[in-house]
A and B are shown apart, each in its own frame.
Chain A
Amino acid sequence: MLRLPWFEYRSPRSVAEAVKILAGEGPQAMLVAGGTDLLPNMKRRHQSPKVLVSLRAVDELRKLNGSYGAGLTLAEVVAHPGTPGALRHAAAQVATAQIRNMGTLGGNLCLDTRCTYYNQTEEWRKAIDYCLKKDGSVCWVATASKRCVAVSSTDTAPALIALDAKVTLVGPGGEREIPVESLYNNDGIDYLSRKPDEVLSAIVIPSSWKSVYWKLRRRGSFDFPLLGVAAALKMDGDVVADARIALGAVASRPFRIEKAGEFLKGKRLTDEVIAEAATLVANRAKPMDNTDMDLYWRKEVADDFAGYALKELRGDDMGAIRLRTARYLPG
């Protein structure tokens, strides 16, 4: 089997203690929660931290009152009756049931960016002389690129961006709260604005949005997203009072499409309005050839998926398409 590198394991009981360990160990330490992403990555030598700081024993990260503790498992987030639509849809479609029982909300937000030239074993990457993201000098996706274009593959981040959520980061200097969108940089290597000695402790989600998340992937059973569309609306009767739409898996960060939100404001969700908004969304989807499936096709269907999301928010029954494309029906 693939072996893990050697590491020291620490198990703090509080966020403050975790922050202290991180500050003391410096960048050679990494946080681990469910481990569903980090441990396989370590086996492939994407990361070889000297110290792993486990968050499993930090009870305060598992709270669910007003805010969502970052240590809640994805399965717990899905099961919670108050979880807003987009987040529930997103969390429910991450990987498999087994992984959702281990993987956490905070872990999914901090998920390493992905790329078909990167998510390979050390031996495989040696055969291509490595790549820009790790140990090499060329980005094989775009050989002229000076920036790593690995893909942000978190499902929950676009959902939380659409929901106008904020994350709490606790560092040695205290707490700060930033919008979820600000947690990310459009850089496949330095993809998080979280500082190495900060712990992402909680997520605060305003409750006033009606929201959905649509995920494109090869298999309904499990797969990382090839496109994630999150949409949240505030309605005034049948007129859109406010709208937030976010995309995932088409850049190194998840991002909001302000233009589409602005366009929808004050309009009724007619087929024409939805089609135009979907086009505005799709124009911003610029997938690269570094995930599964045909690049041009992924670009072509972006407006369809944006349309599905808006139609579902309008109240259309989208169950059949949900089942066909994702084998998922929101409960």
Chain B
Amino acid sequence: MTTTVTTHRPRPAAQPDSLRAKRLPRYAAPAIALAALLVAAAVVYGTGIGGAVLVVVVGALLYLVGLFAAANAVEGRRSARNRTWSALIHSAFVLAVLPLASVVWTLLSNGVDRLDGNFFLTSMNNIGARDPEGGAYHAIVGTLEQVGIATLITVPLGVLCAIYVVEYGRGRFAFAIRFFVDVMTGIPSIVAGLFVLAFWVLIVSPWFNDGRPSFSGFAAALALSVLMLPTVVRSTEEMLRLVPAPLREGAYALGVPKWKTILRVVLPTALPGIVTGVMLAIARAAGETAPVLLVAGGGAAINFNAFENNQSSLALFVYQQAGDASRYAPARAWTAALTLVALVLVLTIAAKLLARRNRLGR
């Protein structure tokens, strides 16, 4: 039966039905799935080696085998492979959606417990293990200040670097910069934190802090800007390359110097794309825990001064509350995590929507 199907012998056109390869009926796939589940349930519960989850897993495997066998018998080997792979690809999708949906669900259901005014208006100062109150005001202040300072450092530096690479750079030097910007993308956040710890906290800051290392929000901002820089450079670079050459040439033809052309013509044209890249970088930086843990010191009190004394951040707050022994700490950790995710997602979505409206879009 298989052979007649797979080898298409030329036949007279008078019999259109025989030209069409035989196919499994529509009900075959669900029927095989049902049978596989039933067999799996019988085997698993019969031998008593597991529960419902194992039934589904064994059932899925049996379904794949059964589907392959049935399709192989009716439609031929190539089609059987096609069906099996497409079932595998679909199941990969289901497999990945489950944990990710679980993350979102627990975040929402656990996070709303403490989602009240008190959480956003108080700090953890003088909050003992038995106090159910306490909030993340100090952490939110820390996150905003650190990310703000990091943005102020990174944006001019990153945009200028991208301008050099795109507009001026030639030869080995520019290539080296591009390559190392790419490499810098992969620097682990903890290494950036250690770098700022070694460079700023332990070596530079003792000079103006009576010889003692000073942990501060500014140090965290430095570490975050090391992490943000490659993202900003890369996105700016891509946007600058998308600016049409006739715009530049028009400016040159009018006698505008190159630097003025870049500042007045090229940058404004690329601006929406650059802003998108910056916002994505900010979103990534706001969620970083490790560097802040190493160089900002953390702290329970509100500290508006990023240049002196310890500061906390939202991500660090989540980490600290998760490790806290108080029975009220987990609720605080989940609410802070929800706040952090909301902040990051709002930034990311805004950036993506901005990118969609961008006229230079790819």
Q: State whether these chains interact.
A: no
Using CB atoms and an 8 Å cutoff, list the residues of chain B in contact with chain A.
none
